[in-house]
A and B are shown apart, each in its own frame.
Chain A
Amino acid sequence: MLETSIPATRPRKKRCTQTSCQAFRRPRAEPRGARKGQAGSRTAPQSLPGVRCLMATPSLRGRLARLGNPRKPILKPNKPLILANRVGERRREKGEATCITEMSVMMACWKQNEFRDEACKKEIQDFFDCASKAEAARKMRSIQGESGNLPPKKLNILLQRFPNKPHVS
């Protein structure tokens, strides 16, 4: 099995000082704050926005303190490493405010006409139409649910009925 993202302890490579070496003059491409594999770094998975990126599970080989393992433990988990019978909730999508333009047009009309509703009927009607359309769109999106995977709530029900088997029977 290949070692993947969690590196074992290795002697650090000294930076090459020869002028012919490519690493000598290569500027730091990553911004200072980005960690390996996180967003904004060179090693972050590059994919289309909205597509779930699938990363390989980091290996556990030789990481835990066990009788047969000669080296120091890399990981010291405080709970047993067993899959739970539930998945985490989907992170809420960052929405944005709808109907801002219609609202500002309506408020401009109000300012001109001293907040009388009879003078601004058209703008008010546009605002209502926009609001109802946004509401309908939101409802459609919530009814449609997730494309591809099951929603987390249904997954949890399924996992409750068919739980993980930590033992060998």
Chain B
Amino acid sequence: MAAPAVKAVRRWSGLTLGLRSVVLRLPGVTQVRWSRYGPEYRDPQVDKEYYRKPLAELTEEEKYDRELRKTQHIKAAPAMKTSSVFEDPLISKFTNMMMKGGNKVLARSLMTQEVWGSLFHCIPLQTLEALKRKQFEKYHAAPAEEQATIERNPYTIFHQALKNCEPVIGLVPILKGGHFYQVPVPLADRRRRFLAMKWMITECREKKHRRVLMPEKLSHELLQAFQNQGPVIKRKHDMHKMAEANRALAHYRWW
């Protein structure tokens, strides 16, 4: 399907089949955020359950997929992706969004448990640990009937809080007649998840006292969002209210 000229370039450059050669070369323009993998490369399958399935249970498609994987090129798995049971894609995404200047170590330590052991005498409170501690305190303080309703797993609290923060409808500026109008528009799933995480991180970074640490503030906001209260939920409601006010402009959309 590719033009013969492009294929010839690939052979001449001596690179292995599938790696892209530099195509665009303009002065003063550097291509960033590009992949050295060609389109035929597949993503690696890190999920152990995929391989544990017995052969008898596989459908035709899955059998075909397995056979195909044996012959196709597969990309290298990124460093942060593991087959561990403790890995959570949402937590990884959130940690990456919290990261500043490539300091993954700091972001990860703020988020999850990282014991720095002998170097420090006091282990700083991390977000998930702080969540768990707060919920356990509540649990032990509460009478027996209420104990069943208190959620103590920090992962479920995290997931539910972010799900509660996701906006249902978004606003998009559309140019019409020389003016920009905020038009209500349905959002894709990934955009909604991104907005929820972005709002949470922005809220925790900006609206706090300077002596309050990030894990403390984050755990507080996550707990509030879990109960459908707090500033992030308020921001989501503000977005919904604006969309409701502008519902007449919905016809400005063309998709």
A residues in contact (CB < 8 Å) with B: 94-100, 103-104, 106-107, 110-111, 115-118, 124, 127-128, 130-131, 134-135, 138, 157, 161
Given contacts A115-B237, A117-B168, A157-B3, contact A107 B244 (CB under 8 A): yes
Q: By CB atoms of chain A within 10 A, which of B3, B188, B241, B254 has the most?
A: B254
Verify if B247 is at the interface (C-beta below 8 Å from A).
yes
Residue of A nearest to B254 (CB): A95
Given contacts A127-B186, A131-B186, contact A107 B237 (CB under 8 A): no
Partner of A124, one of B3, B168, B237, B254: B168
CA distance A134 to B186 in the complex (A): 10
Given the complex, which residues of B lie within 8 Å of A138, measured CB to CB? 255
Chain A nearest CB, measured from B162 CB (Å):
14
Question: Please, could you name 18 A-B residue pairs with CB atoms under 8 Å apart, sorted by A?
Answer: A94-B254, A95-B254, A96-B254, A97-B251, A97-B254, A100-B251, A103-B247, A110-B240, A115-B244, A117-B228, A118-B228, A124-B168, A127-B168, A127-B186, A128-B186, A131-B186, A134-B255, A157-B3
Within 8 A of A (CB), among B197-255: 228, 237, 240-241, 243-244, 247, 250-255
Chain A nearest CB, measured from B223 CB (Å):
18
Partner of A97, one of B3, B228, B240, B253: B253
B241 lies within 8 A of A115 (CB): yes
Given the complex, which residues of B lie within 8 Å of A98, measured CB to CB? 253, 255
Within 8 A of A (CB), among B128-147: none
B residues in contact (CB < 8 Å) with A: 3, 164, 168-169, 184, 186, 188, 228, 237, 240-241, 243-244, 247, 250-255
CA distance A99 to B172 in the complex (A): 16
Residue of A nearest to B245 (CB): A107
A103 lies within 8 A of B169 (CB): yes
Given the complex, which residues of A lie within 8 Å of B168, measured CB to CB? 106, 117, 124, 127-128
In the complex, the number of residue pairs spanning A and B with C-beta atoms less than 8 Å apart equals 53
Residue of A nearest to B255 (CB): A95
Chain A nearest CB, measured from B169 CB (Å):
7
Residue of A nearest to B163 (CB): A117
Q: By CB atoms of chain A within 10 A, which of B168, B188, B250 has the most?
A: B168
Chain B nearest CB, measured from A116 CB (Å):
8
B254 lies within 8 A of A103 (CB): no
Given contacts A115-B240, A115-B241, contact A104 B186 (CB under 8 A): no
CA distance A115 to B252 in the complex (A): 24
CA distance A131 to B189 in the complex (A): 11
CA distance A100 to B250 in the complex (A): 7
What 7 new A-B contacts, CB under 8 Å, besides A111-B244, A128-B186?
A106-B168, A110-B244, A115-B244, A117-B168, A124-B168, A127-B169, A138-B255
Given the complex, which residues of B lie within 8 Å of A124, measured CB to CB? 168
